[in-house]
Amino acid sequence: MTDLLQTDLLQATAARASDGAAMTQLPAALRRFVEYAPFPIAAFDRGMTHLAVSTRWLELHGAGRADLVGRRLHEVLPDLPASCRLAHEQVLAGAPSSSAEVQWPQAEGRPRWLCWTAQAWQEDGGAISGVIISIEDIAALKSAQAAVHDNLAQLSAFVNATMDAVISIGENQRIELFNESAARVFGLSAAEAIGQPIERLIPERFSRNHAAHIRSFAATGVTARHMGALGRISGRRANGEEFPAEASISQSAIDGRRIFTVILRDTSERAKAESELKELRHDMERLLTFHVACQTVAAIAHELNQPLNAIASYIEAANLLLSAGNTKPEKLKHALKCSSEQARKAGQILHELFEFLRRGEAQIGAVDLEPSVRRAIAIVDSNGYGEFEAAVDVAPDRRPAWVDRLQVEKVMVNLIRNGVEAMRAAGVNKPRIRIRIGATAMEDMALVTVSDCGPGMDEATAARAFDPFFTTKPRGVGMGLAISRSLVESLGGRLWVETAPGKGSSFHCALPFAP
């Protein structure tokens, strides 16, 4: 049956030959292989005339066997891409094989990716008698490649968009990936970094041991590790500057190669902020110590001035009496006079000491109260008074105050801390502090109000809240509010409280506006 079909096809194609020449005879075994192949394949003579085709080839081209056998490929497919024609010519010229990828138009108009592979076939004499072309549908492969390309593009965009530096190195410890954040952090472009040893980014005193650390990590089999757990690390910028950082490192295998990826965060700004906060906290503590001493001296002076004045008065009276009736008054008079002078001198010394401490080192200027309030919140939070909510409301027409910034922040720290302590002592589940920044209704002054949701105070307690050495705390000294009021009044302002039992407390701090 097959032989009869082949004979009919040869006879039909012979009638088409314009020059009357006989077609090249394809070996029977090769013909059977081509015709029964389960994939698109066709055999051609040197003139690219179809000699045999598979069923899948016919389906691909939408034609019958009688429509193709005996016709030239370029006649059937006049729009055949030049890459395919070149592949055919290369094989006929003696190349073992040649292939080309093309987008083949489909009936519905959508292109379809195909791979054409051409190989020579030979007769017994060994001469190249024609070409065998097989076609592979690579649409799925191209789709997968496009998906991979898109994924890589998305991954690249993500890696470059991340705020952290991302650096990958191979087993030779040379840089293979260097994202835009890494370029910004280290001051080195990706082109300059890729291919360089990772030690270029590490301070010299650490670089000697770094390779050993990487090898040790690779041997653990652990996929990721937070290097910050080993202590703070340091990086080196292109200009040689060192900076603190946190980093994590992970390892993975790609095509049998081990890749190490470091995600690094520059913490120099955080370290700077922490240093500034530490310095500010130190200033606050110094100021507290200074004003505790100031208030202590004031209290002592207040207590001593009255008896000292009395002593001076009695001594002066005795001096008058002795002067009137004592037969040898000179020595007694001299002693009494010296006692009087020393008593007055003691009072003057205390007064001068208090005035000296009171002067301090205030630096008055225009201060925006919102940043000062937020710094005070940060200080209270960092001092172990965390887990409280703080809301800051700022009037749109607020104006700077004419104050010493450090002293105002100290007052705010004390008021916020007192509110948090009062709420905790009362067992408030969610301590909340609300701070409003605006202006007084009756006075031309800035106003900061610190309100809590604590237990509040009764009338008697509120009346003594600002007295030195008065406190309701088990371990309190009773100087915080007294110092705060003293500071505010020294700046030309006022500090008062509005409170009621069960309704919380609101401390109002009025401060002069900047001129």
SS (H, E, C) 425-464: HCCCCCCEEEEEEEECCCCCEEEEEEEECCCCCCHHHHHC
Structural tokens at position 257? 């190669």
Residue 476 pLDDT greater than 70, yes or no: no
Statement to judge: residues 372 and 347 lie in one domain: no
Same domain for 253 and 278? no
Q: How much of the chain is helix, strand and coil, in % rounded to 5? A: 50, 25, 25
Environment class of 51 (CB within 10 Å of its CB; exposed 0-12, middle 13-18, buried 19+): buried
Q: CA angle, corner 250, sides to 245 and 254, nearest 5?
A: 140
Does one domain contain both 10 and 81?
Answer: yes
β 41-45/224-226 pair status: unpaired
To which H or E segment does residue 375 belong? helix 369-382
Look up the domain containing 441 and give its range.
364-512
CB atoms within 10 A of CB 138: 16
Specify the CATH number for the domain of residue 345. Answer: 1.10.287.130
Q: Give me the number of domains the chain comprises.
A: 4
Strand partners, 254: 257
Are 476 and 490 within one domain? Answer: yes
- What phi and psi, each to the nearest 5 degrees, are found at residue 11? -65, -40
Q: Last residue of a domain, which of 341, 359, 377?
A: 359
Residue 152 placed within a domain? no
Mean pLDDT of the chain: 76
User: Which one, of 140, 195, 134, 139, lies nearest residue 167 by Cα?
Assistant: 195
- Whether 344 shows a pLDDT value over 90: the answer reads no
Paired with 257 in beta bridges are 254
For the chain, give the number of residues.
515
| Most confident listed range (256-260, 330-334, 454-458) | 454-458
- Percent of the chain at pLDDT > 90 equals 10
Residue pLDDT, tens place only, 208-264: 666 666 666 666 655 555 544 444 678 888 888 888 888 888 877 777 778 888 888
For residue 147, tell me if it sits in a domain: no
Domain with residue 236: its CATH number is: 3.30.450.20
Residue 336 has pLDDT above 60, yes or no: yes
Predicted local confidence at residue 265, as pLDDT: 83
Let me know the angle formed at the C-alpha of 29 by 25 and 33, rounded to the nearest 5 degrees.
Answer: 105
Domain final position from 333, 359, 385: 359
* Within-domain flag for 153: no
Which range has the top average pLDDT, 7-21, 54-68, 100-114, 175-189?
Answer: 175-189
